[in-house]
Structure 1
């Protein structure tokens, strides 16, 4: 059992006691460098998500497939660890507590428990083969995705593509009897998929759960991984109106920008700090900014709760933390973060009438001085999608260098 108090430089900190596998560490002795285990999220009476991880001193690292989330002690909540980027927290006392999602309205919590294990599991030897299914979610108004999986024995990892983005890093099990379990926790989303394979290899009796607030049935038809079974989503188009926006900077100043007098290359990223696909696009833009220091990037944020004055103040505080955690901060003079409106595609289109619609968050718009029309890209496939992500990298790189047509 791992017993933790809030780790701070206070008189109480040296008295913290860690008990691991019934072996007591004497007060003042150094902690074991890595204490491995899993954080269990209890979705309901029968379903749970287990995210592997380890403690290093007072820091909790969760391994979400190929992604690592580093949680450090909260500055404001006792016995809690801050979830990076997405503003939530994990609270633990005697290994038991909850995940609090501050991006959702109300006091939204999911029970959690830390379960240590004696040894760290060996790294899987992943197959080069990819399995794929075309998924249908819901019954009355279905929506669709395409699941891609790799296997290493009964372990599996992959992602689900949709017409406007991906479900990021999924991992779990597919055993010999055909029982499938997939999960992810990236700080914003807690997803769980369960189902079974039929004799034909299709997914049947599937259920998709998001946290403890949403569930829907799904099914899957086995297809070749080289097939794209998804219909192409509608694309945002330029209306012919000048590129311009207004809002509030994270310093609280009014912002008004127009492309009419803008020099050089500008990227407008229509996003929300609550959006994991937006985070993936942001990281690509960070790389492009490092390679092209002349590039100016405008993060146009549409935030949850920003439809009233108090909500706007909270959103600006969240964006300030987002700026720091995502590497923008004050060290990048050519990067501007502006709160433009509430988290709504309808409101985003109203605030940005140069777009005929906002199909999804993120939406990227690249303006080049002297170019007749901007380059517009709806949605984003992140690094969990492998080759599809490399295509995104190539598109964005070409767009900022001027060698890609509008699409």
Structure 2
């Protein structure tokens, strides 16, 4: 018995496909032009803080006397542009101070959720293993920023088309010019101890930019505003989500809070100090004993690489694909190698990943990083990013306290210098590091190998 005539089968199949498509959530990965081109103001809601309408702009006590149109506590703002390359393809440019971060078209997916009739948007940050998943309608984007390597880590995200200011469009006269160098003290959070920092601020009117250096690296390009006796700074780059808020006290000092995403918050204070300095990055990590460096770790493809098999002077970079400061150092190394005659110099990168050395997700992260950064030196999977495990992977070091950490190694695999952290291009120390780096590398290249009996 035939339920349907053969001639009706194609029509039936087509009908079933339409019904299934309409009745389910279908994410179509295609480019389309419904997202307006131009500036957007993005906001990550680090804490739940609903806004109560106040059209008259009168002070709201629970907002610490901030007016309705001003900054909302716990909201991390950043700006970006949607730029069309043709009628259907666009990329994003995220702005943090002097830095512009390109999110290429191939990392952006658009579609439509047929179950609710809304347009969808996914912005991928593949190097950092994070993404933004959102709906968009007319001039508003609304969704979440998802960090895959943290369990159930999702931060609400909104963006508004046509708004090119970061914290506020108001222009309250600042009570002080914060330009200069500041000694910073972070109080720490929970079991984590406090730590020092050095802030480098530049202020023009209400606009405030700069960075904060710490002994494990800098907080990259910060951008914000000074409004009356309050200052605000933020950065979002797909990995970092930093928010600084502070009160300018009558004595000129600063006191406020620092948030890193939703997982970390601490108090911080700062005082002007043109001579403020941190411990030298060459003094933070040491060898336990003066023995040649030795290790053997696998590549993402499973091939074991031994340091002893690599000839010539070497740079050994301890890094993580998830680490923006490591990315800055990798860019520096690439530029240096491209601009200098150092064919004898070898670079080996040791990856300390969120998921550990053996997890397939770590291997995939290393491959993405290698391809995205166009790195042509070996990247080896050493251990997880837990610093105790990192210390066990490299027991000849007294400790691993920062990613990145750079080891300068001579032809006989003796460690000649260890540089902890990285003062990137957002800091005043970047040029000094570049000069000292060049001097150390030239010394290593100029040296002749030492016979084993002479070591």
- State the superposition RMSD in angstroms: 2.8
Query: Does residue 1:236 correspond to 2:285, yes or no?
Result: yes
- Aligned residue for 1:402, secondary structure, equals helix
**2:441 counterpart (375, 400, 403):** 400
For 2:164 and 2:388, locate their aligned partners in 1 and report how far apart those are by CA, in whole Å: 50
Q: Which residue of 1 aligns with 2:410?
A: 368
Picking from 159, 173, 176, the partner of 1:114 is 159
Query: In 2, are the aligned partners of 1:191 and 1:211 still within 8 Å (CA)?
Result: yes
Closer/same/farther in 2, CA of residues 195 and 391 from structure 1, 3 Å limit? same
Residue deviations 1:167-205, cap 9 Å, x none? 111110112x2210011112211010101111221002x
Q: Deviations over 1:50-86 (max 9, x none)?
A: 1111001231211111222222454789620112521
Please name the residue that 2:15 is paired with.
Answer: none
Instruction: Note if 1:193 corresponds to 2:244.
Output: yes
Distance 1:371 1:190, change over 3 A: closer
Confirm whether residue 286 of structure 1 aligns to residue 313 of structure 2.
no
**2:222 paired with 1:181:** no
**Residue 28 of structure 1 aligns with which residue?**
none
Aligned to 1:39: 42
Aligned to 2:145: 99
1:349-368 matched pairs, under 5 angstroms:
349-368=391-410
The equivalent residue for 1:124 is none
Tell me: CA distance 1:213–1:129, structure 2 relative to 1, closer, same or farther (3 Å). Answer: closer
Query: Could you report, residue by residue, the CA deviation over 1:311-349 in whole angstroms, capped at 9, with x for unpaired residues?
Result: x21101001001111121xxx3xx110001111222222
Inter-partner Cα distance in structure 2 for 1:357 and 1:274: 20
354-363 or 45-54, which deviates more: 354-363
Counterparts of 1:38 and 1:404, CA distance in 2: 49
Work out whether residues 42 and 159 of structure 2, in 8 Å CA contact, stay in contact via their aligned partners in 1: yes
Paired residues of 1:133 and 1:202 also in contact (CA < 8 A): no
Runs of 5+ unmatched residues, structure 1: 21-33, 122-127
- SS of the equivalent of 2:352 reads strand
What corresponds to 1:391 in structure 2? 432
Query: 1:120/1:379 Cα in 2 relative to 1: closer, same or farther (>3 Å)?
Result: closer
Contact 2:183 2:270 in 1 (8 A): yes
Q: Which deviates further from its counterpart, 234-243 or 163-172?
A: 234-243
Contact 2:78 2:236 in 1 (8 A): yes
2:416 & 2:46 partners in 1: Cα distance? 44
Give the structure 2 partner of residue 340 of structure 1. Answer: 382
Q: For the Cα contact (< 8 Å) 1:134–1:223, is it kept in 2? A: yes
TM-score (norm 1): 0.81
Partner Cα separation in structure 2 for residue 245 and residue 229 of structure 1? 34
> 2:307 pairs with 257, 282, 297, which one?
257
Partners of 2:133 and 2:146 lie apart in 1 by 8
**TM-score, normalised via structure 2 length:** 0.73
Q: How many residues align?
A: 361
Which is higher, the Rg of structure 1 or of structure 2? 2
Report the counterpart of residue 371 of structure 2 in structure 1. 324
CA contact (8 A) 1:262 1:369 kept: no
